[in-house]
Structure 1
Amino acid sequence: MNKNKSKFKQGLISAIIVASLILLTFFTAKSIFNVEEDTKISSETVESALKEAKELTTLKYHYKNIASFENSQQFHGMTIPFTTKRFLYTYEGEIHAGVDLDQAKVNINQEAKSISVTLPKTKILSHDIDEDSVMFYDEKNSIFNPLELEDYSNFRKEEEAKVEKKAIDKGLLKEAKDQTLKAVKEILLLNPIIEEEYTLTVK
């Protein structure tokens, strides 16, 4: 008889432990996945997703360039002999274009179940030169007009500006804008609540 009571008591304790574990698992899962009967999307939710999407919405433009520099001292429009300095410059670089998603404006209308994301103007975010690719050729110096560090740095800035303008003229910013609009929509629609319950507009 005592043995039966003991077995019953052990079985009851085991059942209580199992039930406790099930309840603990349920509430833990609810906490992790934020399960609510009336779930709403907040501006913070959208803005957080946009911040994580920065790298995905940046268009990378890789290029190789060759440019020449030449300078001579002038006198009344005429080149002074033995004052010419020059060099040939080759390098590779990468331009990153896109939008600063930290500046995006989010408007949510809970009654209309609509989300509107307004992106800032597309721009060049960074321009990096691969220093290992930089090479100088055909350098010519002049004792009367020597090459200086300033010649190299100023020429480099001018060439980078030319490359950026050329890339923009070819449609870099427009392509970056189109890619950003598409990427932002796809990323936000990964949230099932947004996809199923809200009308999303990104512009």
Structure 2
Amino acid sequence: MKYFDNIKGKLVLAIIVVILIVGIAGYTKISMDRKTILLSNKIEEKVLRLVELATVKYNYTNIVEYEDKVQLSGISVPFTNKKFIVKYSGYIKAGIDLSTIEVNVKNKDAVEIKMAKPQIFENVIPEEEVYFYDEKDSIFNKLSFKDLYVVLIQEKEKMKEEVIQKGILNDAEKNGTDIITSLLEGMGFKNIVITFK
């Protein structure tokens, strides 16, 4: 009988201790927070003078499915598959480098302009325009930031080639010619010759 009284006493004591711990935790609102520390150091800072006339901006949105797995003789090795779907938006700007312009004023009505052919100035995918879906990795093949980085670099190059093939540089040349012609006409020139070298 004494043995059971001893067990009951210990059980009651344990219950009281648990109630006290829960009560104190609830009263003081003890919570676990994750603390993130971000260290940022400026390595280099430059202010550059730009002499660019951007005449075309091409906006795009794409979805890419990335999958990577280890294969031996064409057979997929279990637990080595990783994949994600990424949706991203970006833009490409093309135009004329105004530092290459050569101006030859023939008379008060005639002017000849020579400049370098248009080029791509910007090819940008803003971080806030990148969204992930369906992320999965495996024990032996973990997803990493490098996977996303490689995919986005490849996509930027692919989009650059695609818009060049679609004629973005031709559009930049035409728009640049129209803009410069309009400016020169506003200055009183009537005979305007623009050539790209």
TM-score normalised by length of structure 1 = 0.65
* TM-align CA RMSD: 1.9
Query: Structure 1 stretch 125-134 or stretch 136-145: which is displaced more?
Result: 125-134
Is the partner of 1:146 in helix, strand or coil? coil
Give the deviation of 1:156 after TM superposition. Answer: 0.4
In 1, the alpha carbon distance for the partners of 2:114 and 2:193 equals 8
Which protein has the bigger helix share? Answer: 1
Give the deviation of 1:80 after TM superposition. Answer: 1.6
Gaps of 5+ in 2: 1-50
Task: Decide which of 96, 101, 121 is 1:99's aligned counterpart.
Answer: 96
Query: In the alignment, what sits opposite 1:87?
Result: 84
CA offset digits 1:111-160 (Å, max 9, x no partner): x9632111212221101223222100011111201111111111100011
Runs of 4 or more, structure 1, over 6 Å off, are: none
In 1, the alpha carbon distance for the partners of 2:75 and 2:98 equals 53
Query: In the alignment, what sits opposite 1:159?
Result: 155
Query: In the alignment, what sits opposite 1:58?
Result: 55
Give the deviation of 1:83 after TM superposition. Answer: 0.7
1:108 aligns with 2:105: yes
CA offset digits 1:39-80 (Å, max 9, x no partner): xxxxxxxxxxxx5xx45x521111111111111122233322
In 1, the alpha carbon distance for the partners of 2:185 and 2:76 equals 65
Task: Decide which of 146, 149, 155 is 1:150's aligned counterpart.
Answer: 146
In 1, the alpha carbon distance for the partners of 2:165 and 2:171 equals 11
1:70 aligns with 2:72: no
In 1, the alpha carbon distance for the partners of 2:65 and 2:159 equals 14
TM-score normalised by length of structure 2 = 0.67
Query: In the alignment, what sits opposite 2:117?
Result: 121
Gaps of 5+ in 1: 1-50
